[in-house]
Amino acid sequence: MVPRGETYSMNPGRGFSDEVLDVLKNRSKGIRVRAGTGKHRFIGIWFVIVADRIFARSWSVKPDGWYRTFLKEPRGAIQVGKAEIAVRAAHTRSKRLKDAVDRAYLEKYNSGYEVRYAKDLTREKSKATTVEFVPYRDG
């Protein structure tokens, strides 16, 4: 596993670096995300990686939850190790991509209590909340 560090490099114009993706691929459960640029706290959410891209869905779709905050203000951050990486949440519309995200959730979260929630995350209510986290760079 890649050591936890203070900073990670980004691949210019491509997305997250291989180093960041390697760290995330080795995490079995969730990622910590902060929606918006206000004084929101980091919370843990389930995520998947499809084609070296990071996706997440809201399970509860609460009015004041992370997903709705990203709808209002698509900028935020994820924590990878000790590093905080600025991201933009891009809403995913592609049926093909959403189907791939379905498969990734069912494959990754496949034991015990996880199965119920993974199945819920593939239902239309949650599927409609599919977002991709993309590195955010000013300029």
CA distance 129 to 61: 8
Please, what are the domains in the chain? 10-134 (2.30.110.10)
List CB contacts of 136: < 8 A, sequence separation 6 or more: 75, 86, 87, 88
CA distance 102 to 107: 9
The model's pLDDT over 33-88, given as tens digits with 9 standing for 90+, comes to 999 988 788 999 999 999 999 999 999 999 889 999 999 999 999 998 888 999 99
- Considering the entire predicted model, what is its pTM? 0.87
The model's pLDDT over 88-108, given as tens digits with 9 standing for 90+, comes to 999 999 999 999 999 999 999
**CA-closest candidate to residue 65, choices 43, 91, 37:** 43
